[in-house]
Amino acid sequence: MRTSAFVLSASGEASKAFTFQQIELDSLLPDEVLIESEAFGLNYADVMARMGLYKDAPPMPCVLGYEIVGLIKEVGASVDKNWLGRRVLAFTRFGGYAKHAKTKLSALVEINDLPAHIALPFATQGVTAHYMAEVLSPIQTSDKVLVHAAAGGVGSFLVQLAKLKGATVYGKVGNDAKLEYVHSLGADVLINYKKEDYQKYVATHLAGLKLTASFNAVGGSSVKKDLQLLGPGGRLFLFGGADLGARKGLLGKISFLWEMGIFLPIGLMMQSKSLLGINMLKLGDQQPLLIQNSMRSMLDLYKSDLIKAPKSEAYSYKEFAHAHNVLGSGDSEGKIIINWS
């Protein structure tokens, strides 16, 4: 079928990189469903793709987008027809920037009348946070946890999941306006890294102790700093490279990698530290039910009033390019939503 979509056809500023046009969707595979979207979410990986810095993105021209909320309009041959007409939150991998999108039945959950701006953060961001903090290496009560980009979608969830376990949370943000929000989520120590050397600030507050976990979506020089802040048993979760977005050209990429450093397994073993890399696309390909289970678990926590949905900023599809640039600027809080209505 044909549908409308924002197609990434060039690198650069959003209004020039994307074109709004008609695309043709392939026929459904047996385990897939077709969803008519009412809203979709933006993610920082999309900004990296727009800048030509995300190697997992499909070759251009392509349709980005990891998550949508909408109604199931068609089902594949092996999918129960009772799914038709149900309103769902779905992880789309790619293709979410379209009025209609396909995904596997194993990558969605039914949400009934839950508003789209509440539901959408629980897909990519909620799943990422849950996988790291609850599945890969669960946070413990005594942990001292550093959360980079603590006002963002993933960071907002991580702060809350850590506080549910009774951990001490150090929330790192890029401007003072975000400090109150992160504090409202439960963060114990607040850091504006543009005013403070966050490594020294955290070390001072630790008063001779060490971090037990750092959730790092930044990369670059922060990786070495975090490893120095970690004590024995410490875990560094690396799930993004936002600092790469500020680098220009080949030399910028080289400096980004150089600042991250080279780590020998024997060194990590002798210090009893762990470096954990997370790529939810790869996990979704190999373990699709992991995505569904984490979405469902996070939504259950929300429905039980144990966590709050992150802040969201909603835009019309006519403001798509502006919204994409807002996300890339680093000035947004929580989740950016695009509504088709």
Return all residues near 288 (Cβ < 8 A) that are at least 6 apart. Answer: 104, 106, 107
CB atoms within 10 A of CB 326: 17
E strand or H helix at 294: helix 288-303
Residue 94 is given by DSSP the state: S
In one letter, which amino acid is 147? V
Does the predicted model carry a pTM greater than 0.85? Answer: yes
Residues 72-119: tens digit of each pLDDT: 999 999 999 999 999 999 999 899 999 999 999 999 999 999 999 999
Which residue shows structure tokens 């727009």?
Answer: 50
User: Please, what sign has the CA dihedral across residues 277, 69, 159, 43?
Assistant: positive
Contact of 336 with 319, CB cutoff 8 Å = no
Of the two residues 243 and 206, the one the predictor is more confident about is: 206
Strands (E), 49-206: 67-75, 87-91, 100-104, 108-110, 144-147, 168-173, 189-192
Which residue shows structure tokens 């670059």?
Answer: 220
Domain over 2-122+311-339 is classified CATH 2.30.30.40: no
DSSP state letters, 151-193 = TBHHHHHHHHHHHHTT-EEEEEESSGGGHHHHHHHT-SEEEET
Q: Where in the chain is the domain with CATH 3.90.180.10?
A: 2-122+311-339
Q: Where in the chain is the domain with CATH 3.40.50.720?
A: 131-281
Per-residue pLDDT band for 5 (boundaries 50, 70, 90) equals very high
Torsion region of 3: left, alpha or beta (phi above 0 gives left; psi -120 to 50 gives alpha): beta
Residues 115-132: tens digit of each pLDDT: 999 999 999 999 999 999
How far is residue 6's CA from residue 19's CA, in Å, rounded to a whole number? 6
- What kind of fold does domain 131-281 have according to CATH? Rossmann fold (3.40.50)
Beta 67-75 vs 87-91: how paired, if at all? antiparallel
How far is residue 30's CA from residue 289's CA, in Å, rounded to a whole number? 17
Residues 222-275: tens digit of each pLDDT: 899 999 999 999 999 999 765 555 556 555 555 555 566 677 788 888 888 999
Rounded average pLDDT over 40-61:
90
Residue 86 is given by DSSP the state: -
- The length of the chain in residues reads 341
Beta 67-75 vs 18-24: how paired, if at all? unpaired
